């Protein structure tokens, strides 16, 4: 290689570099007052991706990034390790300083703000004995999220976490009575124009949830959280506020709060929610969709009456003998193997709308287009109904709507008043006899509420657990006076269904033994029991009515045995988790 070749190569490199300056300038030229800048600068402006668009610009943060000389990731990892070590050794001062340094290096890393806020409010705060110190670190966790919101303006995820922490950590902690009082008196947290009546942690939580929803609706995403668990925040916080003020004896305020909660849940039910598949749902449309599916099914089957039954029978004939036996065996009598076989058999003989439409098209070609169109519409309605039901179950929508409604009834308000007076009498006057009488009358009112809303007997709801807690308080008062729950107690069924810890298992067993000689007392039979349909006779089984001499389920005299212990319920979701964070909401929330 001679010197001329080397020179030519160098000139070629220079030419390539000069040529690349033009596309680089077109792409990366900075924005100025007189120029919109290059393509990247214009995209940043359009998508609000500049630091000034994301949030506050902190000169100290920018200087810290430059001071790492391109090793910001290494420096951040080192500080994370230091923070973990300081937490392990309970060096809270050093931990706080380290978190401040991390905030300078990673101002737009949302998980940092979420994790460290949770760490301060939920983990560090529990290391102290005095509730004032614990509240201080709860507030530090909230302040950490506030700081993150300065760097990430109106971010839905951080706003949602603010709503969760302010609501649940202050309103659900063991020290909630003290925390709520300190929060109301916290002048540094509340803006000057916030009225004293609005300083309740649940109302502030609701406000943050609404800000998060407004930010999400403006186009900013809310991450991987389930949409129903993201949007139901205001309604749940409003309900928690209503319950909290009633526990404090402010029943008129509580009644007004329940009305607002009902409006919140109705608004939520009408809100368009995008399913993970892209289908837009409205939770309140479930009754309409149910009727629509039934109407389309009836219309499709009406095109060829009896054809569906023929197809089912044809497919049934193709089942194996074991599958036919399994599907004909009542569920209560099936073995584990038969359950699997029955599931397979039911799937095999199922006739979808499309199957029925194709059979109609073969039988009556002139009806082909109409049948297939109906089948397509039916399939879309079934999918939308299935997704809606799934999201309603995730958010427990039906229960919370029912809760907001029944809490406004005079019987529910009176029940809460009587229980409140019973607690006050026991705590301040030490009169357990009078306090127990208040509880007795309050629980009788709760029975009236449960009768009016049979769905509240559902073990998946939380009302039964709440009433069970009241029963335990009542029983404790009775025991202090050497008494037990009487046989005519109207809520024995709640004890049977919701006493997960088996605190009253012995009393329940003794009650059943004493009442086993006759019919089940009327007050023990729940509306849910009455609403249960009679079991349908199995195929080839004669449906005979019992004669007067034949014993029925109501007059059998065999004593019932106490039920086995029930499994404990799991708590609801935590912030940051998509269950749901779930979420799971669904359940720890009340």
Give the C-alpha separation, 503 to 390, whole Å: 34
Contact at 8 Å (CB) between 135 and 173? no
What value does the mean pLDDT of the chain take?
83
Percent of the chain having pLDDT more than 90?
Answer: 58
Query: Is the alpha carbon torsion for 362, 368, 371, 373 positive or negative?
Result: positive
> Is residue 283 within 8 Å of residue 269, measured between CB atoms?
yes
| Integer Cα distance of 156 and 146 in angstroms | 13
H or E element that contains 273: strand 273-274
Segments making up each domain of the chain, as ranges: 3-47, 53-220, 284-395, 409-529
pLDDT band at 533 (very low <50, low <70, confident <90, very high): very low
Residue 10's pLDDT is: 82
> What gap in Å lies between CA 549 and CA 552, rounded to an integer?
9
Q: Is the pLDDT of residue 570 over 50?
A: no
Give the model's pLDDT for residue 559: 38
Rounded CA gap, 384 and 398, in Å? 17
Going by C-alpha positions, the residue among 480, 462, 464, 411 that lies closest to residue 441 is 411
Q: Which residues, in sequence order, are bridge partners of residue 280?
A: 274
Query: For the chain, what is the total number of helices (H) and then of strands (E)?
Result: 28, 2
The predicted-structure confidence for 137-146, as pLDDT tens digits, reads as follows: 999 999 989 9
Residue 506 has pLDDT above 70, yes or no: yes
The CA distances from residue 42 to 10, 46, 50, 541, 575, in Å, are: 35, 6, 10, 77, 35
pLDDT at site 530: 52
Q: How confident is the model at residue 563 (pLDDT cuts 50, 70, 90)?
A: very low
DSSP string, 69-86: TT-HHHHHHHHHHHHHHH
Q: Which of 34-48, 198-212, 519-533 has the highest mean pLDDT?
A: 198-212
Please give the pLDDT value at position 103: 80
Average pLDDT on 144-154 reads 89
DSSP element (H, E) containing 280: strand 280-281
User: Which pair of structure tokens corresponds to residue 39?
Assistant: 């393509």
Position 225 scores a pLDDT of 83
Residue 267 has pLDDT above 70, yes or no: yes
pLDDT at 557 over 50: no
pLDDT of residue 89: 87
Q: Answer for the pair 107, 61: CB distance below 8 angstroms, yes or no.
A: yes
- Region label for 90, one of left (φ > 0), alpha (ψ between -120 and 50) or beta (otherwise): left
Does residue 548 or residue 287 have the better pLDDT?
287
Torsion angle (degrees, nearest 10) of CA 64, 67, 72, 76: -50
Residue entry with tokens 């391109």 = 70
Pick the CATH number of 53-220 from 2.40.128, 1.20.1530, 1.25.40, 1.20.5: 1.25.40
- List of residues 6+ apart from 362 with CB closer than 8 A: none
Confidence check: pLDDT of 256 > 80: yes
Q: Mind listing the pLDDT tens digit for each residue in 446-476? A: 999 999 999 898 877 789 999 999 999 999 9
Q: pLDDT band for position 556 (50/70/90)?
A: very low
- The pLDDT, as a whole number, for residue 71 is 75
Q: How confident is the model at residue 37 (pLDDT cuts 50, 70, 90)?
A: confident
pLDDT of residue 541: 38
More confident residue, 566 or 176: 176
| Digit-coded pLDDT (tens) for 327-366 | 999 988 999 999 999 999 999 999 999 999 999 999 999 9
pLDDT at 583 over 60: no
Are 564 and 499 within 8 A, CB to CB? Answer: no
Structure tokens at 483: 């008494």
Q: What is the pTM of this model?
A: 0.75
The alpha-carbon radius of gyration of the chain (Å, integer) is 32
Mean pLDDT of 491-516: 93
Is residue 577 over pLDDT 70? no
Instruction: Using pLDDT thresholds of 50, 70 and 90, give the confidence band for residue 46.
Output: low
């Amino acid at each position: 290689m001679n010197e001329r070749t080397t020179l030519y190569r160098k000139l070629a490199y220079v030419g390539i570099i000069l040529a690349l300056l033009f596309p680089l300038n077109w792409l990366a030229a900075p924005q100025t007052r007189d120029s919109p800048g290059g393509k990247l600068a214009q995209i940043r402006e359009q998508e609000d991706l500049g630091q000034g668009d994301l949030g506050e610009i902190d000169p100290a943060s920018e200087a810290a990034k430059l001071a790492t000389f391109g090793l910001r990731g290494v420096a951040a990892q080192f500080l994370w390790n230091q923070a973990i070590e300081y937490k392990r050794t309970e060096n809270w001062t050093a931990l706080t300083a380290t978190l401040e340094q991390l905030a300078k290096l990673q101002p737009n890393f949302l998980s940092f703000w979420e994790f460290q806020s949770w760490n301060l409010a939920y983990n560090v705060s529990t290391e102290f004995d005095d509730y004032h110190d614990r509240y201080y670190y709860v507030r530090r966790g909230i302040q950490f999220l506030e700081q993150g919101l300065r760097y990430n303006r109106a971010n839905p995820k951080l706003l949602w976490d603010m709503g969760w922490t302010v609501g649940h950590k202050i309103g659900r902690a063991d020290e909630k009575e003290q925390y709520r009082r300190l929060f109301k008196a916290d002048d540094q947290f509340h803006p000057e124009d916030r009225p004293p009546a609005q300083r309740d942690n649940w109302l502030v939580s609701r406000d943050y949830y609404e800000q998060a929803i407004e930010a999400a609706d403006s186009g900013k995403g809310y991450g991987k959280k389930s949409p129903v668990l993201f949007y139901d925040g205001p309604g749940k916080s409003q309900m928690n506020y209503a319950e909290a003020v009633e526990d404090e004896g402010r029943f008129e305020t509580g009644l007004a709060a329940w009305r607002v909660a009902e409006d919140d849940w109705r608004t939520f039910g009408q809100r368009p929610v995008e399913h993970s598949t892209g289908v837009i749902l409205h939770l309140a449309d479930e009754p309409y969709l149910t009727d629509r599916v039934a109407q389309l099914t009836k219309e499709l089957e009406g095109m060829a009456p009896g054809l569906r039954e023929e197809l089912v029978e044809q497919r049934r004939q193709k089942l194996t003998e074991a599958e036919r036996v399994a599907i004909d065996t009542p569920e209560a009598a099936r073995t584990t193997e038969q359950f699997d076989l029955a599931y397979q058999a039911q799937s095999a003989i199922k006739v979808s709308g499309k199957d029925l439409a194709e059979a109609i098209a073969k039988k009556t070609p002139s009806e082909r287009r109409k049948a297939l169109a109906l089948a397509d519409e039916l399939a879309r309605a079934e999918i939308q109904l299935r997704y809606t039901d799934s999201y309603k179950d995730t958010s427990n929508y039906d229960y919370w709507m029912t809760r907001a409604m029944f809490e406004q009834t005079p019987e529910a308000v009176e029940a809460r008043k009587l229980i409140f007076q019973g607690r006050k009498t026991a705590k301040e006057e030490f009169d357990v006899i009078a306090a127990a009488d208040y509880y007795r009358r309050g629980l009788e009112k709760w029975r009236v509420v449960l009768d009016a809303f049979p769905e509240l007997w559902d073990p998946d709801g939380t009302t039964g657990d709440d009433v069970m807690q009241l029963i335990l308080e009542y029983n404790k008062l009775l025991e202090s006076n050497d008494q037990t729950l009487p046989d005519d107690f109207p809520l024995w069924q709640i004890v049977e269904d919701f006493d997960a810890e088996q605190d009253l298992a012995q009393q329940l067993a003794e009650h059943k033994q004493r009442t086993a000689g006759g019919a089940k007392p009327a007050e023990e039979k729940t509306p849910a029991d009455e609403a249960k349909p009679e079991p349908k006779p199995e195929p080839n089984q004669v449906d005979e009515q019992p004669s007067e001499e034949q014993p029925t389920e109501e007059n059998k005299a065999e004593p019932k045995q106490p039920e086995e212990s029930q499994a404990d319920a799991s708590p609801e979701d935590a912030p940051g988790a998509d269950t749901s964070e779930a979420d799971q909401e669904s359940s720890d929330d009340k």
